[in-house]
Amino acid sequence: MSETPVRVRFAPSPTGKLHVGGARTAIYNWAFARANHGTFILRIDDTDPERSTEENTQIILRAMRWLGLDWDEGPEVGGDFGPYKQTERAQMYRDAAQRLWDEGKAYPCFCTPEQLAADREAAQARKDPFQGYQRRCRDLDPEEARARIAAGEPYVLRIKVPEDRGDVVVRDAVHGEVTFNARELDDFVIFRSDGTPTYNFATVVDDAAMQISHVIRGDDHLSNTPRQVIVYEALGAPVPTFAHISMILGADGKKLSKRHGATNVEEYRDAGYLSDAFVNYLALLGWSLDGETTIVPRDVLAREFSLDHVSKNPATFDPKKLDWIQAEYIRSMSDADFADKIMLPELVEAGLVGEGAEFDEAWVDALAAIVKPRTKMPADVVGVCAPVFATADTLEYDEKSVAKGLAKEGMGAVLDAAREALEALPAEDWTPTAIDAALEALPEQLDVKKRLVFQAVRVAVCGNLVSPPLGETMALVGRADCLPRLERARAMAL
């Protein structure tokens, strides 16, 4: 581990909701901080006033909380390096720019957009390999510059890329050494004529002031990095370690977008994905524990995450793998946990259960035990539970199941015999085992195939052929409601 304390930041721009790519960047920063006993900072990069909104900021904070990515410094929690919104840090950018200007490391440029365009065209015409800013204002007499500013002429502030800078080598923890030619960097703008800082400037002022040790972000920012290195050097601040993570692609190899389906974190939350499963899945998009393990719980991720296991190849978003991981997380929950966190909330939401309704714990556990293996997404719960929460009057019969299991010659006799056998069971014996045993005796007694007997009773009691194990379901429905269901179904049987 390095000696400087690990301080990392996730710096979303609130120009939209939290995208899965942003969420993965946040997860890597969080996990890296946790694995290195460092500090995870959330900073809101809201310098684009036209596209940033407070509403998006709130959506991002909510998504971060849902993902369980607790931040040590940032909005709502504070910290020693705040404020944590760029719009509240304007004075710091002005001070830093003024300092560079005073030190001769930045200068005002008065070139108009027309002048810049003409210079570019001329460079193209003479086939100059460098077509960037021609440094017209770099050596303006400071007196003249002051006079023009005093006269109200608009200007931007440009950084002086040192003449002798040579190549800028970015040492990236994912991409290795990436070399950029300093001459091609231009004397780029650090402050616009409207008095706002550019991204490359504000980000570095903040990252330096917040003592960020590692910048982990999407590799769409790799090309900005040499410019940022120049700013660090001008400010006299140590350059952090960079780690640029690959893009996320859709199945067709194109950058993940709406065309591929849901791309915002909240859409996954609303669809019923578990936060733990979703974080596990996103963590694997470009990182692996050992090249094969698929289930990496949050605590393992927070302990084992390392940048050496981050791949520089683009990752492909695979909804099937996400679903598989989700099913694994549900399967590994205890019945009680499943009941509390998934089943009961779903039932309340569907109106099958009243808020705060009291249930016998054993009854809830028995229900959870048969519902859990049949649940891939929380919304599945309602369908699986419907027969249990129906009554003999409200139970809905699936037409196809009735045709297949009930409306057949001989099934009337099966239901009569089933009712008789079940009526003989006293209420205190109304258990899955006793119910199954009572039904088991029927095939021989009636000389009807066992499958047909069970099908008929299943459709009569549950309304369909796909419900959970019959004895268990009937025990949960209760004797008082099972017998009337058999009676009601009798009319449909032949």
Instruction: Choose the stretch contacting ligand GLU; rule: CB under 6 A; options: 6-14, 285-293, 335-343, 373-381.
Output: 6-14
Number of CB atoms found within 10 A of residue 137's CB: 20
Nearer of residues 198 and 473 to ligand GLU, judged by Cβ? 198
Cβ 232 vs Cβ 203: under 8 Å: no
Number of CB atoms found within 10 A of residue 39's CB: 21
Dist. CA 365–CA 371, nearest whole Å: 10
Position 490 contacts ligand GLU (CB under 6 A): no
Span 72-101, contacts to ligand GLU by CB under 6 A: none
Least CB distance to ligand GLU at residue 240 (A): 11
Nearer of residues 7 and 372 to ligand GLU, judged by Cβ? 7
List % helix, strand, coil for the chain (3-state, nearest 5).
Answer: 50, 10, 40
Least CB distance to ligand GLU at residue 207 (A): 8
- Out of 17, 85, 127, 258, which one is annotated catalytic? 258
Nearer of residues 11 and 333 to ligand GLU, judged by Cβ? 11
For residue 258, count CB atoms less than 10 angstroms from its CB and return exposed for 0-12, middle for 13-18, buried for 19 or more: exposed
Based on the residue annotation, tell me whether 258 is a catalytic residue of this protein: yes
179 - beta bridge partners?
A: 169
- How would you classify the pairing of strands 168-172 and 176-180? antiparallel
Nearer of residues 310 and 368 to ligand GLU, judged by Cβ? 310
Number of CB atoms found within 10 A of residue 428's CB: 8
Angle (CA) 240 245 248, round 5°: 160
Least CB distance to ligand GLU at residue 200 (A): 9
Give the helix/strand (H/E) hosting 58: helix 54-67
Nearer of residues 286 and 387 to ligand GLU, judged by Cβ? 286
Among 45, 172, 206, 346, binds ligand GLU (CB under 6 A): 45
Among 6, 11, 208, 438, binds ligand GLU (CB under 6 A): 11
* Six-digit token string for 467: 């419900």
Binding mask 119-158 for ligand GLU (x = CB under 6 A): ----------------------------------------
Tokens 């710091």 found at: 92
Q: How far apart are the first and last CA of the chain?
A: 77
Instruction: Choose the stretch contacting ligand GLU; rule: CB under 6 A; options: 9-17, 74-82, 169-177, 468-476.
Output: 9-17
For residue 457, count CB atoms less than 10 angstroms from its CB and return exposed for 0-12, middle for 13-18, buried for 19 or more: buried
Least CB distance to ligand GLU at residue 56 (A): 12
Least CB distance to ligand GLU at residue 12 (A): 5
Least CB distance to ligand GLU at residue 217 (A): 4
Dist. CA 386–CA 395, nearest whole Å: 8
Among 85, 214, 217, 485, binds ligand GLU (CB under 6 A): 217
Question: At 55, which amino acid appears?
Answer: E
Among 6, 7, 8, 12, binds ligand GLU (CB under 6 A): 12
Span 410-429, contacts to ligand GLU by CB under 6 A: none
Least CB distance to ligand GLU at residue 380 (A): 36
Dist. CA 245–CA 315, nearest whole Å: 10
Position 13 contacts ligand GLU (CB under 6 A): yes
Instruction: Choose the stretch contacting ligand GLU; rule: CB under 6 A; options: 8-16, 56-64, 97-105, 312-320.
Output: 8-16
Nearer of residues 210 and 368 to ligand GLU, judged by Cβ? 210
Q: How many residues bind ligand GLU (CB under 6 A)?
A: 7
Instruction: Choose the stretch contacting ligand GLU; rule: CB under 6 A; options: 5-13, 116-124, 158-166, 306-314.
Output: 5-13
Dist. CA 88–CA 373, nearest whole Å: 50
Position 321 contacts ligand GLU (CB under 6 A): no
User: Which is it for the CA torsion 402, 407, 411, 417, positive or negative?
Assistant: positive
Question: At 488, which amino acid appears?
Answer: R
Cβ 388 vs Cβ 476: under 8 Å: yes
Nearer of residues 29 and 326 to ligand GLU, judged by Cβ? 29
Tokens 């690990």 found at: 6
39 - beta bridge partners?
A: 7
Position 175 contacts ligand GLU (CB under 6 A): no
Dist. CA 463–CA 349, nearest whole Å: 22
Dist. CA 391–CA 343, nearest whole Å: 19
Nearer of residues 46 and 346 to ligand GLU, judged by Cβ? 46
Residue nearest ligand GLU, CB atom distance: 45
Span 219-278, contacts to ligand GLU by CB under 6 A: 221
Position 203 contacts ligand GLU (CB under 6 A): yes
Dist. CA 293–CA 24, nearest whole Å: 18
Nearer of residues 53 and 131 to ligand GLU, judged by Cβ? 53
Instruction: Choose the stretch contacting ligand GLU; rule: CB under 6 A; options: 10-18, 264-272, 374-382, 412-420.
Output: 10-18
Catalytic residues: 258
Residues binding ligand GLU (CB under 6 A): 11-13, 45, 203, 217, 221
